[in-house]
Amino acid sequence: MITVAVVSTKGGVGKTTLCANLGVLLADLGMRVLLVDADVQPSLSRYFEIGHGTQNGLSGMVREGNATAEFISSVVFTSLRKSQSQRPKVHGKLDIIRSDAHDGALQEYLANRSDKEVRIKKALQSPHVKENYDVVLIDSQGAKGVLQKSAIFASDLLISPICPDVLSSREFTLGTMEMLDDVESLPLKDFNMPPMKAVIYRTENTVDSRAIAQVIRESFMTMRGRVTVLNATVPHSVSYKKSRNFTATGPLD
Ligand SMILES: Nc1ncnc2c1ncn2[C@@H]1O[C@H](COP(=O)(O)OP(=O)(O)OP(=O)(O)O)[C@@H](O)[C@H]1O
Ligand SMILES: [Mg+2]
């Protein structure tokens, strides 16, 4: 099992959209995927049509310190493959731990705990998750705080979308380094900073967009080797906006 968090110090860059699309793609490839909406604004939770919806989500899991079935809802998704023969023999699944943390009580609860940074990590190391999932994908919040840090501590790999425009790439470079420095400075035993893969996101077919993407690749090489930029890029496309067709239903609403 691998745990991946989609993180960025900038808001609105595409974390949730990337997380949702990655989840569906991996499940469509036959993997058992668990999404975790670790943002107080429950955008990822509202992305999908929910099959079996549970009463409790993120807050329950964090308080319990154990990710069991009672916090996990199932997502209804249709295969992206057109013909039956293209579909993998193994059927994947897509489940989600929905965010129910909008009133600030979760952050307050976490802030008062000595294990606040590793609480989500511990919960996701439950036997239930280990036995039932291949990939855990965490959508984190853009704002700095205990939830963002906990998502980083829980992960084996970080993915960070970065838009190819000058201001966001500058802001991103500084913000990302600050966030990684901040997390690394915490005196936690047995913690190694997960590698971070940046993905150039919302590229456009223009000279400017291509030139800035090139500058991003070069500048990231100087970031003490902590961040690498993936060769794959994600285009700016209305289909990503349109992919958000559902609002969640079920007990959490
Ligand atoms: N590849 C894309 N092409 C075009 N629009 C996109 C793409 N990815 C995301 N968007 C749109 O950009 C907006 C912000 O995306 P999203 O909510 O995923 O960002 P976020 O980083 O999760 O934001 P927040 O920091 O508020 O959580 C949304 O309206 C989304 O539909
Ligand atoms: Mg988001």
The answer to whether residue 251 sits within a structural domain is no
Cα of 172 vs centre of ligand 2, distance in Å, is 16
CATH number at residue 77: 3.40.50.300
Q: Buried b / exposed e across 39-65, counting CB within 10 Å, b at 16+?
A: bbbbbbbbbbebeebbebbbbbbbbee
The answer to whether residue 103 sits within a structural domain is yes
Cα of 189 vs centre of ligand 1, distance in Å, is 35
For range 3-26, the mean pLDDT = 93
In the numeric block, the tokens 């070069």 are attached to: 218
105 token code pair: 């009580």
Cα of 115 vs centre of ligand 1, distance in Å, is 31
Write the Ramachandran bin of 164: left for phi over 0, alpha for psi from -120 to 50, otherwise beta: beta
Question: Domain of 83?
Answer: 2-242
* Lowest-confidence region among 132-136, 145-149, 203-207, 219-223: 219-223
The answer to whether residue 250 sits within a structural domain is no
pLDDT at position 20 is: 95
Cα of 39 vs centre of ligand 1, distance in Å, is 14
Cα of 222 vs centre of ligand 1, distance in Å, is 27
Residues 6+ away with beta carbon under 8 Å from 28:
77, 79, 80, 81, 88, 92
Pocket test for ligand 1, best of 16, 137, 140 (most atoms within 8 A of CB): 16
The answer to whether residue 67 sits within a structural domain is yes
* Structural domain total, the chain: 1
pLDDT at position 62 is: 96
- Give 108 or 86, the one with higher predicted confidence: 108
Q: Which ligand is nearest to the CA of 143?
A: 1
The CA distance from 46 to 245, in Å, is 9
The answer to whether residue 60 sits within a structural domain is yes
245 has a pLDDT exceeding 60: no
Q: Which residue lies with its CA nearest to atom 25 of ligand 1?
A: 11
Strand 227-229 and strand 73-76: pairing?
unpaired
The CA distance from 77 to 123, in Å, is 26
Q: Which residues in 110-252 belong to E strands, given as ranges?
A: 135-140, 157-162, 196-203, 227-229, 234-235
pLDDT at position 142 is: 85
The answer to whether residue 215 sits within a structural domain is yes
> What confidence tier does 181 reach under pLDDT thresholds 50, 70, 90?
confident
pLDDT per residue as tens digits for the range 52-102? 999 999 999 999 999 999 999 999 987 777 676 666 666 789 999 999 987
Which ligand 1 atom minimizes the distance to the CA of 235? 1
Mean predicted lDDT score pLDDT of the chain: 87
The CA distance from 88 to 29, in Å, is 6
> What confidence tier does 187 reach under pLDDT thresholds 50, 70, 90?
confident
The dihedrals phi and psi of 190, each to the nearest 5 degrees, come to 55, 30
Give ∠ CA 138-14-214 in degrees, rounded to 5. Answer: 115
Question: Is 14 near ligand 1, meaning CB less than 6 Å away?
Answer: yes
The answer to whether residue 77 sits within a structural domain is yes
Which ligand 1 atom minimizes the distance to the CA of 141? 27
Q: In a 3-state reduction of DSSP, which class is residue 6?
A: strand
175 token code pair: 């913000």
Q: Global pTM?
A: 0.92
The answer to whether residue 252 sits within a structural domain is no
Q: Which ligand is nearest to the CA of 236?
A: 1
The CA distance from 159 to 194, in Å, is 10
Cα of 13 vs centre of ligand 1, distance in Å, is 6
The percentage of the chain sitting over the pLDDT mark of 70, rounded to a whole number, equals 89
Q: Which ligand is nearest to the CA of 15?
A: 1
Question: Is 236 near ligand 1, meaning CB less than 6 Å away?
Answer: yes
pLDDT at position 218 is: 80
Which ligand 1 atom minimizes the distance to the CA of 237? 3
For range 103-115, the mean pLDDT = 89
Q: Which residue lies with its CA nearest to atom 9 of ligand 1?
A: 14
The top-scoring range by mean pLDDT among 100-104, 125-129, 247-251 is 125-129
